[in-house]
Amino acid sequence: MANLEERLNEVKLIAKGPKAQFKKYIAAGKKVMGCFPMYVPEVIAHAAGMVPMGMWGAQTEQKLSKLYLPAFACPLMQSNMELGLRGTYEGMTAVMIPTMCDTFRCVSQNWKSGVKIPTISFSFPQNRKLEASVEFLETEYNYVKERIEEILGTKITDEALEKSVKIYNEHAKLMMKFADLVPDHLDVITPTVRHWVMKSAMFVDKTEHIEIMKDIIAGLEARPAYNWTGKRVVLTGITAEPESFLQIFEDNGLAVVADDLGQEMRQYRTLIPDEGKTVMERIARQWNKRFACPLAHDEKFSRGDHLLDLCAKTKATGVVVCLMKFCDPEEYDFPLYNKQLREAGIPSLSLDVDQQPTNYDQARTRLQAFAEIL
């Protein structure tokens, strides 16, 4: 068992240097599955003995990606494409790409044409109320499974799938527990540290990350609750990076007490359910249970309610919208939940998030002003 400080240092190194993790797994003879955001069925790759690793781009200048994508494609996909074309992901056995928005539709084809890593692409059904959508996704996931079996020359048994589902659910529960503990430990869990904990989960085999999270949780539970006297905010959006962006929160006495970010808690707040005749059906049903996310159509539009619940639960007095540049699904949602927040007396601030080297001076000024009104 490692102590809290050691584990927080470990997640920092992992989150800041995913390439080292990648090389470590390759050197150990592991097969790595690249996972485009979001919600790809990592658990199937895990059951095949692979290490699923998240592909969330990086702060990088985009040159080669311009041959494939228009300038108004979101920076996340531009960045993944750029890194793929540069050969950064060389050594990956395959990548999973879902088609969740218009940009994804282009990228799944561009990737096949420009990057020589086998691609497994599939679709999520958007009419999630119909039982037929579960059947459809089960068929899609069986296709994903068959492709992995074909690439690896192996069989994925139901027993292995059950085992991986258990591991993924245990991991998700630990992430939820950590998120619940954060508001009482804002002295050690700064916005940047919180982000490292969340981000590290994408680059480590979940069995290993479970041990990391158990130690972090035990370390936090052993500490007395800290009386934070600064302001508290909730983050929403796809990602809140780079670190220099999060540093502005710290510089202005703003604690991140909860998030609704694609890269963070949206991944972990929905477990793979118990209902289902087959294990693959259970994995498919997780999609129907996801909520408050613009990528999973929700007729009731629960995102505003969810943000208000997070604020109430964590005593947050404001919401910061980390708006990925050119992300249509996120932009469409904004006016709806923003109206709801305003009516409830919760101020919000929308800031552009980019993955090209940029300075965040404008965000700094706006966050300073926002902090004053909270």
Q: Which residues bind to ligand SF4, rule: CB under 6 A?
A: 74, 76-77, 100-101, 103-104, 238, 295, 324, 327-330
| CA nearest to 120, candidates 100, 88, 84, 145 | 145
Assess contact for 32 and 26: CB atoms under 8 A: yes
Nearest to ligand SF4 of 100, 134 (CB atom):
100
Rounded distance, CA 249 to CA 233, Å? 9
- Judging by beta carbons within 10 Å of its beta carbon (0-12, 13-18, 19+), is residue 88 exposed, middle or buried? middle
Q: Tell the smallest beta-carbon distance from residue 124 to ligand SF4 (Å).
A: 12
Q: Tell the smallest beta-carbon distance from residue 335 to ligand SF4 (Å).
A: 16
Nearest to ligand SF4 of 74, 213 (CB atom):
74
Q: Tell the smallest beta-carbon distance from residue 58 to ligand SF4 (Å).
A: 14
Nearest to ligand SF4 of 242, 329 (CB atom):
329
Nearest to ligand SF4 of 101, 188 (CB atom):
101
- Residues 6 or more apart whose Cβ sits within 8 Å of residue 370: 318, 320, 347, 349
Q: Tell the smallest beta-carbon distance from residue 121 to ligand SF4 (Å).
A: 13
Nearest to ligand SF4 of 228, 334 (CB atom):
334
Query: Looking at residue 362, what DSSP letter applies?
Result: H
Nearest to ligand SF4 of 7, 266 (CB atom):
266
Rounded distance, CA 138 to CA 124, Å? 10
| CA nearest to 43, candidates 293, 275, 292, 268 | 268
When computed from its CA atoms, the radius of gyration of the chain, rounded to whole angstroms, is 20
Question: Per this entry, what is the length of the chain?
Answer: 374
Q: Tell the smallest beta-carbon distance from residue 324 to ligand SF4 (Å).
A: 5
Nearest to ligand SF4 of 77, 346 (CB atom):
77
Helix then strand then coil, % of the chain, to nearest 5: 55, 15, 35
Rounded distance, CA 148 to CA 374, Å? 50
Q: Tell the smallest beta-carbon distance from residue 97 to ligand SF4 (Å).
A: 10
Q: Tell the smallest beta-carbon distance from residue 273 to ligand SF4 (Å).
A: 24
Measured CA to CA in angstroms, residue 201 lies from 12, 88, 196, 239 at distances of 11, 20, 9, 14
Query: What is the pairing mode between strands 94-99 and 348-353?
Result: unpaired
Nearest to ligand SF4 of 201, 238 (CB atom):
238
Q: Tell the smallest beta-carbon distance from residue 77 to ligand SF4 (Å).
A: 5
